[in-house]
A and B are shown apart, each in its own frame.
Chain A
Amino acid sequence: METNGHEHVIEVTDLRRVYGGGFEAVRGISFSVRRGEIFALLGTNGAGKTSTVELLEGLAAPAGGRVRILGHDPYTERAAVRPRTGVMLQEGGFPSELTVAETARMWAGCVSGARPPSEVLALVGLETKARTRVKQLSGGQRRRLDLALALLGDPEVLFLDEPSTGLDAEGRRATWELVSALRDGGTTVLLTTHYLEEAENLADRLAIMHDGRIATTGTPAEVTAAEPSRISFELPDGYFVGDLPPLPELGVAGHETDGRIVRLRTRELQRTATELLVWAAQAGVELRRLDVRSASLEEAFLGIAKNVPADRATGMTTKEYAA
């Protein structure tokens, strides 16, 4: 359990999940999450995020590999794990005819050491909706109710499957603040998301999933460090790409043009930008629509979604996409 003095609260080894029809949704993934860490599983729809989280929650038995939550198998040792975990499913799970307060009271009766339901409802800003039926809540309010119930038992480990889907910008930010505060209080959080911004803002470490596998993993900085930064601008009138200083000398790794727009990829953003701007100043030209941006998670994400061979179900033809 102890590695480098940090307790691994979630340990996943070579995990596989195969559905009834033979579809292999999770194809041998491994990762671990330390206590007090926010770990994000990122991926497009169908990448295997929810299939993975359900195995960690103990809702199904894996087809292969191993899951340990707080040192226990969440599927076979349910009683040992459940009082210490909180779960927010991807959708629903509440009888539509119950009110918010009735739902929270019911759930509180099933959680060891539950906080007062009104307290967690206030935490997510639903205290004024206590007497509203669940079916009358907006999608965002339902998500917040789900989050509130996941927090009822003050869990050590929190599983959040797309916690901010359906929330407006304000609600999303509030959820991020809440989750960050929980992490600061020592809660370990595993969340899935397809919002890159969410992973970038919240996650201490993340894994990008594609086709049931982990394509890349690390801190947001580590994952983006593997990607080039980008500079784009409009060529000044009368200038061509060949009129620019030799691109390799600017540290440019590659470029493309789109009409008058030039896009440069570089791993030395400061040097490339400086040399380009010095050249423009000396030439006395204006680089209109200049855009300089560091490598982002988005680049990594799109790169992975594009590059990894998409051999979906076994037996189907494999399509490969050129980079």
Chain B
Amino acid sequence: MSATQTTLRPATAATTPLSRMTALARAELTLLGRTRGALVAALFVPLVMPVSVRSAAEEMDLAGAGLSTGTLVLPAAVGFSLLFAVYSVLVGVFVVRREELVLKRLRTGELRDAEILAGSALPAVLTGLAQCLLLTAGCVALLDLSAPSAPHLVVLGLLLGLVMCSALAAATASFTRTGESAQATPMPLLLVSMMGSGMFVPLELLPDKVASVCELLPLTPVVTLVRGGWAGNLSGYEALGALATAMAWILIAVFAVRRWFRWEPRR
């Protein structure tokens, strides 16, 4: 260890938000590949769960609701991917990085707070996106799914879902103290979404009163947009309603993060 004076050195440019987030995301991607538990949950659960949805579909009167096995399974598959590969994984990432004082360390540098969260979330978001594309291709190939009636709604639903699940993960991490409790705190949203957001049972098949409550759940508008965009049974009014619900949840999550997110472990 010696203190050499280096005067000649290439003049590297100032960082930009994009360059900073890319550097952070690259490190997080490496870490994601090294976290076996998260990797298994993120990669396999969303690939396996749709199979069980498919077997459940055989007992439903889908045709009466203008749906098919494909338009039931695909939105469910997207939902599983968002919940397991994005939401659950990111709760763990945010909490563990806080425990390791990585978030505190990052905040001493040039990264802004939002960049730290976004950069850390990026690998999981891209994993989720890739998985959704893969699952879509699988559904089209295996379940005789025709082309979507309104592809823009499918894309909108997917993008809203990715943003929302990242924001909700940060919000959940705000109320999660340790890496161990990060195994449990995502459970409520996982269960509520699987039961009430139309993943196993489409809202179309639920009693009206129950359905109108379920419409307000965070993941429902995502499932609704993906399913409706594919099946073509969504009115403009309904699509707008779903968009508004999704935006409201994103805003609530962002507010919660700004208000309650902790950058350091509690003393």
Which A residues contact B (CB, under 8 angstroms)?
A: 57-59, 78-79, 82-83, 87, 89, 91-98, 102-103, 105-116, 119, 123-125, 144, 171, 174-175, 177-178, 180-182, 185
Contact = CB atoms under 8 A, between A and B. Distances in A.
21 contacts: A59-B104, A79-B110, A82-B108, A83-B15, A83-B110, A87-B108, A89-B105, A94-B100, A94-B105, A95-B100, A98-B30, A106-B26, A110-B106, A112-B12, A112-B14, A113-B13, A115-B6, A119-B9, A177-B2, A180-B3, A181-B5
Interface string B2-27: 11111001011111000110111011
B23 A57 contact: no
Interface magnitude class on chain B:
35 or more
Contacts of B104: 59, 89, 93
B102 interface: yes
B100 A123 contact: no
A178 B105 contact: no
Contacts of B13: 112-113
B4 A110 contact: no
A110 B23 contact: yes
B108 A59 contact: yes
Interface of B: 1-6, 9, 11-15, 19-20, 22-24, 26-27, 30-31, 34-35, 97, 100-102, 104-112
B102 A94 contact: yes
Name the prevailing secondary structure of the B interface residues.
loop
Contacts of A59: 104, 107-108
Nearest to A159: B108
B5 to A, nearest CB: 6
Given A93-B100, A93-B102, A106-B24, A178 B1 contact: yes
A175 B12 contact: no
B16 to A, nearest CB: 10
Contacts of A58: 108
A201 to B, nearest CB: 15
A110 B11 CA distance: 15
Contacts of A94: 100, 102, 105
Given A59-B104, A91-B101, A110 B110 contact: yes
A98 B31 contact: yes
Contact of A115 (B1, B9, B109): B9
Which 8 A-B residue pairings sit nearest by Cβ, starting from the closest?
A109-B23, A93-B105, A181-B3, A106-B27, A125-B1, A174-B1, A87-B108, A112-B14
B102 A110 contact: no
B3 A108 contact: no
Residue with the greatest number of chain B CB neighbours at <10 A, chosen from A59, A97, A144: A97
B95 to A, nearest CB: 13
Given A91-B101, A94-B105, A123-B3, A110 B111 contact: yes
A96 B1 CA distance: 23
Nearest to A151: B3
Contacts of B26: 105-106, 109
A231 to B, nearest CB: 39
A95 B20 contact: no
Given A92-B100, A115-B6, A82 B24 contact: no
Contact of B27 (A91, A95, A175): A95
Given A89-B105, A110-B23, A115-B9, 20 more contacts: A59-B108, A79-B110, A79-B112, A93-B100, A93-B102, A93-B104, A94-B100, A94-B105, A95-B100, A95-B102, A97-B31, A103-B27, A105-B23, A110-B20, A110-B24, A113-B11, A113-B12, A116-B9, A119-B6, A177-B3
B34 A97 contact: yes
A93 B263 CA distance: 11
Contacts of A182: 3
A6 to B, nearest CB: 23
A102 B27 contact: yes
Contacts of B110: 79, 82-83, 110-112
Given A112-B15, A178-B3, A185-B5, A95 B31 contact: yes
Contacts of A78: 112
Contacts of B27: 95, 98, 102-103, 105-106
Contacts of B24: 106, 109-110
